Structure formats: structure tokens, C-alpha cells
Chains A and B, each alone.
Chain A
Amino acid sequence: MTRNSTAIATRSLTKRFGSESAVDGLDLSVDHGTVYGFLGPNGAGKTTTMRMLTSLTQPTDGQAWIDGNPVSDRDAIRESIGYLPEEPPVFDELTGREQLEYFGRLRDIPATEMETRIVDWLDRFDLTDDADKRIDDYSKGMRQKIGLIQALLHEPDVVFLDEPTSGLDPRAARTVLDVIAELTEEGHTVFLSTHILSVVEELADVVGVLYEGDLVTEGSPAELTARMEAEEGTTLEDVFLSVTAERGPAAPRSATGGTGDAPDSQDEQATDQ
């Protein structure tokens, strides 16, 4: 497979459910080896976007590509991606090791290679002692770790992670963050959706904020905080609250220079980054 310069690209990506628009004309471009932090309040359309990019949901309009392959080409997309949904996709009746072996085999990873990878990942996530217990005996965090290993086991080019640190204790969450950082160092691309803004602030090269299906702002964490009126100690949280509030009932501050720009001009700024 030829490697496209852009890991993820969308053009006017739109998803409507009946008359309701979940994602509205989304334009994204994510380079290889970067972490894209995808932010937005509940119901903003983040999961729908992820489902379109992972080929699970068909766009109503517009186009999207992963590694240069259109998302309509599901067979090609599956080769390139790893996906951790918000609810870890695990079978309660299997042990952690069996779960990973099952998906490793479905991915056609050579047996010895798969065994090595599984042992390494289990060790890394502190799961070696529990690997042969059934998943229905696992805690939420352990399930999350198995789901994450499953998404990474075949070393995909592009990894979609929906709330990967959800339910993890601080030590495990730190391991996940370290893994994400290493993935990008190795050239993998991570599309990261989370509500934990400190995670995005630490890891993301580019941050996009989705609000009611619109990408309301986009840029590096530093750029976004710089757009706020120069205040000492402005954080990504301030930016998030500001841009989402502008579209909502109250508009306390603006990330786009405090001018209370109209949505269109915001989007223009976002695409200028």
C-alpha cells in the first residue's frame, strides 16, 4: 500500500439522521505521525465522526480518506486502522489473552509474532498476572487496557481512540499517554477524542473543537490559547469553554480574539491554521 502524505482527510463530511445534522461539512487534514485531539461537548458529533472515519457509518455527504483510501473502501480501511470505541469491544466470556489472540488471528498476525506482541503489551499494561482470567472478572480499567491493546496489536497506521483513559487509574493513564507519545514517534497517527483536556494539551499536535456538528476552531494547543485575549495562564480548558459557549446561550470570552465572530469566520480561521 502506498503511503499517502495525509493520514486522515475529510472534505465537507456530513452526517444527517433524518432532518438532524450530526456532523456538518467537516474539513479535516491530519498528517502522519501526529496526534489530533478531537474535543467537543457531549452530543457534538465526535463519535459519529469517528464512526464515519472507521467506515462503520456511511457519510450522508462529503468524502473522507484514511491513508489515501476512501472510507467507502472498507477492506482497505480495516488494514490501516485500529479503533478503541468508548465501550471497550471485549467478549466477557473470553480471557484477556484469548481476546487478544482472537483478534490477532482475525488480523492475520503470524503466530509467533502475535505471541511476542501480546506478552509485551500485557507486561507493559501490568496485565500479565490477570491475562488468563475471564474478562467478566476484570475491572473497568482492565477492560479498557485490553481494548487498547486490541486496537494496537496489528500496529495500524492510524489509531482512533475514544476516551482511552476513561476508567484508568493515574498510573495506567500515564502508561496510555506514554504509549500514544511513542506511537507518534514511530510514525503512527492518533485521532484522540477525550474530555480530559489536560491529556489533549499534553499530547496533541493539533486540536479541533466540534460543536453541534461544526468544527468551530482548530489549531495547536499553543495557537488556540494564544488566540484568547492575552491573559496570563490561559489554558485549553478556557479555550474550550469559550468556543463552545459562543455557540451556546452564553459567550463569556472568545478564543478568536474576543470579537464574537460569526460561525463562518471562525471556521475560516480554523482552516487557516
Chain B
Amino acid sequence: MTRAKRPRLIARTEFRRRWRTMKGNPMQLLALAFAAVMLLPFSLGGVFGAYLAGGFVAGNEAEPLIEWTRMVFVYGWIFVVGFGGYRAYAVALRPDNLDGLLTTVSHRDVIAGLVLTEFVLWSAFFLTVGSAATVAFAVGAGSLLTIPALLLTLCLLLATGIPAGFLLALGVRNAGVRSRLLSRLRTLFLLLFGIGYFALIFTNAFASVLEPIYRVLAPTPIDWFGDLAAIGLGIGASPLRAIGAVGFTALFAVASVVSLFRLAEWLWYADGVHVTHEAERSADQSSWFAGLSRIFSQPVVGVIAVDWKRARRSPLSLSFALYPLIVLAGPVVTAVQTGEIGTSLPLWVLISGTWVAGSLFALNVVGQEGAALPITLLSDAPERSLVVGHVVSGALLIAPMTVTTTVVTGILSPLSIAVVVSLGVSALVLSAVSGAIATGIGVGFPRFEAVSVSRSTKAIVPSVFAFVIYSVVVLVVALPTVIAHSGIAGHALASFVGVDQFVIGLIGMVTSAVLAGLAGAVSMYVARNRVSEYRLE
């Protein structure tokens, strides 16, 4: 077998495996279909935009256009490197069955196969939409010579951008496996990266990050791609720079192949730092747990202790519970940008905190036991320890934070103190009871199998059905208090009835509390019955 055939075989098998994984996962298929539906109008719009741009170029002065073209391709390159690097880091560089591959073929074949896989994936989109846009642009510009020039530029962009992304990702991974500090703080770094990424999206501050990168790249041969693309358009493209772009790509390809081989070898044959996870033995003998033991039975305290230990030692496995916090992003960004806290922020905090408190531990009380389920079910009164324990562990952990944050943001908002107090009581009641609401829904729609919560972490998380039903119930239960405390609706209701808004808030709080109590009691009753009668199938 020639050297080129092995990477092709590895890439082909990767495609087959990925397709089969996707075929077997309705959620992934749905996401793919959604992405396709979302991309279609953008793609068609892009093609039409290319046609208009072609027409614009044909009838305009040359000087600024070549600068714009260069800039577009530099930003395009940054995009390919950024997303290519992310995919390489998250997906490609930790192939399954690596030992099997490395004892069969060389690391050079493996990395070449992985880069080829990504290259074909990107090409499938770039070269189909890109070809259509190229033709549309050429027709608009009335210059057929543009077609091969633009297509060649797109190919060169991918041929340099994807390896560059891999090199970046390999650099990060190599640093990660060798640095004890990076290994230990990996979750924190990823969290900060995620927060930074979303902060950029919500604050529309991408330009402030991309612009310095652009300024670094503009004097480099990356800037020459624009000249190659614009050759034949008559907008001042330099033929020398265009030829230079081709030459640069060839040199870059050679250099990146050598570097990719070396960095992949360093990564895959590295010993890596070994971070031990030593835990203190006295955690559940602390005065805190002693205090809990006076209130709850020993099995319940045991469940609480295990929930908290698992949360502390593997926070990534509970990352699903942070999804609702996304709804907080908008109001928080608005508050930061305006320097003022509106009346809606405390309400968003209340809803999010309530949601998290219930879903964290109580939304899959049977399934999350995992391999320990048979033993748990054989323990003394598991229905009491599991159901009560998971409800209490979430409430004790999240309710204080929810109440504090709700009250603090409420005080800083234009809401009156009386309204803030009733809002705080609502936050306390709802975040304390939401776990009880979750239990019955969770046992009705349990999930037993672990799913990937990150590339390296698998965890048993609640099922999608449980998530959806729980979210709807929590929203319905919280609705009266949210409406009663909202600036507009609450005020309108108070004016309509002719009472102070505090009274409306009080009524909303009591209504939500009664609803939550009823829903929680029924749900817990169902959960306890299901757990006590649960049989392994």
C-alpha cells in the first residue's frame, strides 16, 4: 500500500463511522437537518450576494476594492483556522482506538488521515456553495477568468487554513498533556473560554478580537490570496502577489506536514502529566453533615453527601444544568452595558435558579445511579433515601444562591423593598420545591445510558423528554409570581384591581407556592411509588 492510500483509508473509515453514529442518533440527525435548513437561505443569499458583488465590482473604481478583497480573504482564513482548530481540538486529535491504530500504521498516516477527513468535510460545504457563489460572482462581474481564480483561491485557503488549525490545536494539546497546571485547571480554562466566547457573541465584540489578528496577518502572504482571487477583475490585483500566494501555499504545505508529523508524535507518544485526585476523607464527617444527620436519616444524608462530592469532583458531568443560564445572558449583558438593573433581571434569576435547583440532582433519580442501581434498590427504603436525598441536595446547594442573587438584584432594581421581599420568598419556595417537581418527571422518563458531555467525559444526564416536561411545569408554576412581580404586568394588574403592587406580588407568590407544593407533592408521590416498585428489566 502506498503512503497516500493509508490516510485515504483512515479518512474513509472515519466518514463511515461518523455517518453511522449520526444515523443512529435522532438528535444529531435533527441538528444536522436544522443546520441544513438554516444554512440554505444563507447559502442562497450568499450566492445572490456574490452576484450583486460581481456587478458592483464591474462598475466601480479599482483602488479600494482590492483592499476589501484582500481583507475578506484574510478574515476567511482566520475563520477556517479558528473553526478548523476548534474541531481538531475537540474532535479529530483524540481518535478512538488510538493504540490499535498506532500499532498498525505510523502516526504520520493517522494524522494525515485525520487532516484529510477534515479537509473533505470543509470542502463539501466550501466548494459546493463556494463554486455556486464563484460562478454567480463571475457572471455578475462579467469576467469568466474569475471562476478558476476564485476556486483556486478557495482551495488554497482550505489547504493552508485547515493544517494551520490543526497545528494550533496540536500546540494546545501538547501543552495540556505536559503542563500539570494546565491539566489541573483544564475545566476552568474551558469554562472561561466558553464564557468569553458567549460574551463576545452577546456583546457583539468579535471585531475587537479579530481586528488585532487581522493587523498581524495583513502584512503576511495570507494577504496575497485576495490578489489571486481578484486576478482578471481589473481592480488592481498584483500578479506577483497572486503567484506568491500559490508559492506560499506550497511552502506552507511542506512546512505544515513536517510540523504536523512532529507535533502528532509528541502528543500521541507523550507520557503526559499525571494529576492525582486525592480527596479528603473527612468531608462527610464534618459538622455540616452532622447537623444534617440530626434532621434527615442517615441514608438521606448519604445521598446528599454523594451528590455533592460528585458535583465537586466532576462538575462537567452536571454542565447540562447550566443551559438555562443562557437566558440570563441577555439581561446580564444589558445590565452591564447600561449600568442599570431592570425589573426583569431578578425574575430571570428566580426562574433560572429554580430550574437549576430541581434539575441538578433530582431529574433522573433512578438513571443516574448507573451501575450502582441494583445495590441502591436493594438498600433499606430506597424510595425515601433516593427521592428525598436528591431533592434536598439540590435545594440546599442552589436555593441560598438563588434567593441571595434574586434579592440583591431586586434591591438594585427599581422594585420596591416590599416587592423584593415577596420575590425573595418566591425564590426560596420555588427553588426548594423544584427538586420535588423534578423527581416524578425524572422517574417517568429516565435515562440510563451515559452520553458524552465533552470529548473525554461521559455522564448519565436526564432525558430530553424529562428536560422538556420539567421546564414546562416549572414555567407554569412560576408564572403567577413572575407576572405579579414584573414591572409592566404587575403594575398593570395592580392598577386594574386598584391595590398596591405588593399585594399583587403577594397573591402571585402564594399562587405559585400552592401550585409548586401541589406539583411537588404529586411528583414526589409518583417518584417514591415508582422507585419502591422498580424492577430491573
Which residues on B sit within 8 Å (CB–CB) of A78?
A: 103-106
Chain B residues contacting A249 (CB-CB under 8 Å) are none
Interface of chain B residues 64 through 121 with chain A (CB within 8 A): 96-97, 99-107, 109
Report yes or no: B271 in contact with A91, Cβ–Cβ below 8 A: no
**Residues from chain A with Cβ under 8 Å of B271 in the complex:** 17, 57-58
In whole angstroms, how far apart are the Cα atoms of A57 and B102 in the complex?
11
Q: Which of A75, A89, A107 contacts B99 (CB 8 A)?
A: A89
Residues in B neighbouring A81, C-beta threshold 8 A: 103
Closest to B265 in A: A74
Interface residues on B, range: 20 to 34
Question: Chain A 74-86 against B: per-residue CB contact (8 Å), 1 yes, 0 no?
Answer: 1100100111010
Q: State whether the Cβ of A124 lies closer than 8 Å to any Cβ in chain B.
A: no
**Chain B contact residues, majority secondary structure:** helix
Query: Which residues of A have CB within 8 Å of B96?
Result: 91
Q: When A17-B274, A56-B269, A94-B13 are in contact, do A103 and B99 touch as well, CB less than 8 Å?
A: no
With A94-B13, A94-B16, A106-B9 already in contact, the answer to whether A56 and B102 are too (CB < 8 A) is yes
A90 in the interface (beta carbon within 8 A):
yes
Asked if B1 is at the interface (CB within 8 A of a chain A CB), the reply is: yes
CA distance A192 to B269 in the complex (A): 23
CA distance A102 to B100 in the complex (A): 11
Within 8 A of A (CB), among B1-51: 1, 6, 9-10, 13, 16-17, 20-21
Chain B neighbourhood of A17, CB < 8 A = 271, 274
Residue A54 contacts which of B6, B10, B103, B105 (CB distance < 8 angstroms)? Answer: B103
Question: B97–A106 contact, CB under 8 A?
Answer: no
Asked whether any CB of chain B lies closer than 8 Å to the CB of A108, the reply is yes
> Chain A contact residues (Cβ within 8 angstroms of B): what range?
20 to 34
- Closest chain B CB from A196 CB (angstroms): 22
Shortest A45–chain B CB gap in Å is 14
Contacting pair A91 B99 (CB below 8 A):
no
Q: A58-B269, A102-B9, A106-B9 are in contact. Are A83 and B17 (CB under 8 A)?
A: no
Contact of A18 among B10, B13, B17, B274 (CB under 8 A): B274
Kindly report which residue of chain A lies nearest to residue B108, judged by CB atoms: A75
**Beta-carbon contact of A91 and B274 below 8 Å:** no
Q: Which residues of A contact B10 (CB under 8 A)?
A: 106
Q: Is the CB of B9 within 8 A of A55?
A: no
A55 close to B103 (CB less than 8 A): yes
Which residues of the partner chain A approach B107 to less than 8 Å between Cβ atoms?
Answer: 74
Q: Are A75 and B106 touching (Cβ within 8 A)?
A: yes
In the complex formed, the residue of B with least CB distance to A94 is: B17
CB distance from A253 to the nearest CB of B (A): 34
Asked whether A106 lies within 8 Å of B6 as measured between CB atoms, the reply is yes
A1-27 vs B, CB cutoff 8 Å, 1 = contact: the mask equals 000000000000000011000000000
- Known A102-B9, A108-B1: A89·B100 in contact at CB below 8 Å: yes
Q: 9 closest pairs, A vs B, by CB? A: A89-B100, A93-B17, A108-B1, A93-B20, A89-B97, A83-B103, A106-B104, A106-B105, A54-B103
If A17-B271, A106-B6 are given as contacts, then 8 extra A-B residue pairs at C-beta distance below 8 Å, sorted by A number, are A17-B274, A56-B102, A57-B271, A93-B21, A102-B13, A103-B104, A106-B1, A106-B101
**Can you identify 5 A-B contacts, CB atoms within 8 angstroms?**
A55-B102, A55-B103, A57-B271, A78-B104, A106-B10
B positions within 8 Å CB-CB of A: 1, 6, 9-10, 13, 16-17, 20-21, 96-97, 99-107, 109, 269, 271, 273-274
